[in-house]
Amino acid sequence: MSVSPFRRRVAVVLGVGVWLLAAACPPVARADGDATEAASKEYSRGNELARAARWAEALGAFEASYAAKAHALTLYNIGVCERVLGRATRARERFRAALARASADATELPASIREEVEGFLAEYGRILPRLAVTLEPRDAGIAVDGRPLREHREGDRVVLEAGVEAPGIGKAPPSATFDLELDPGTHVITITRQGYRDVVMTRDFAPGQKGPLNLVLSELPSTIHVSSTIIGAQVRVNDVDVGLTPVDVIRPAGSYHLVVSRAGYVPFTNDIKLGPGEESNLRATLAEERIPITKRWWFWTGAAGVVAAATVITYFVTRPTPAPQPYDGGSAGWVVMP
């Protein structure tokens, strides 16, 4: 089986690291009491474990020493253990912290070791994969190998480091685009957000790999559970018939106009807006329709008869009296007028 260049570099460091750990032991100031004594004890134990190439156990001993009494040299040794174990981002973090302490107190870290640390940091700048990530939606939580990402900035660019935070759920990045740095090798990336389908992807990253990485979540559909006081009412969504109540209406996130209707009842209307994956229960109250008397068929049928009868009566009442036939006065011409 071939060995990657990165693994070969780690093997070289393993051989050098034993010498460094054995030679680098912080001075013990007895005036500090029990804390310093405990730190010195754990530090010595870490050296012995490192000589035996028991790096994970040595790491635990050095971390216990640092917890008892902080020292730049102890941070350096923790970084060496992380480096040998292949945890590049965590090793880099420890080396940076060691240099920060040494800048405040140069006696905590010999000049030769500072040069070694700076060389390690320069190497990490070359071998760590760095991806230009676009995340959609931007407020989704992202984790790598079950750990959230740690943020730092390089100028205007947001950089998130994988592997340095304690295990936990993913967190949303400060922006939709950022650079992701992580160890070379295989990683599990998890992206989650309420209302979206979770994404769990396994990817391999080569040492020094660069390029884009688009992480896009798919929206879950929204659901409207529609019921009504009258079973079997028709449901229309945005003027589209979707069935009779009760019915579940599944649609993409958005705004919708609902109409629930049935003959003889006043239609029920409602406007609703749903986000991805949201559910809503809508119960339509259908009131019996009150038809005005002027709209009922029998009213106008009876009214037509009344109008017809009234027309006949009016005619007979108002018709003019017919003129009588001319009276005949006979041969004498005498006519008596009424």
Predicted confidence (pLDDT) per residue in 290-332, tens digit: 866 566 555 556 555 555 555 555 555 555 666 566 655 555 5
Q: Which amino acid is at 6?
A: F
Q: Give residue for tokens 């406007």.
A: 271
Helix (H) or strand (E) holding 60: helix 55-68
Q: What is the pLDDT of residue 163?
A: 95
Tokens of 257: 């106009």
Rounded average pLDDT over 5-14: 42
Nearest Cα neighbor of 179 from 163, 162, 207, 157 is 157
Give me the domains of the chain, ranges plus CATH numbers. 5-127 (1.25.40), 130-216 (2.60.40), 222-284 (2.60.40.1120)
Name the one residue in this structure whose structure tokens are 């005498």: 334
**Residue 308: which residues within 8 A CB-CB, separation 6 or more?**
none
The closest of 163, 153, 156, 164 to 185, measured between CA atoms, is 163
- Positive or negative, the CA dihedral 117, 121, 126, 130 is positive
Q: What is the pLDDT of residues 114-165, one digit of tens each?
A: 999 999 999 999 999 999 999 999 999 999 999 999 998 888 888 999 999 9
Roughly how many angstroms between the first and final C-alpha of the chain, as a whole number?
146
pLDDT level of residue 5 (50, 70, 90 thresholds): very low
**22 pLDDT above the threshold of 50:** no
Interatomic CA distance for residues 237 and 260, integer angstroms: 9
DSSP 121-189: HHHHHHHS-EEEEEEESTT-EEEETTEE-EEEEETTEEEEESSSSPS---B--SSSEEEEE--SEEEEE
Question: 298 or 271: which carries more pLDDT confidence?
Answer: 271
pTM value is 0.69
Q: What would the mean pLDDT of 48-62 be, rounded to a whole number?
A: 96
Point out which residues pair with 49 in neighbouring strands: none
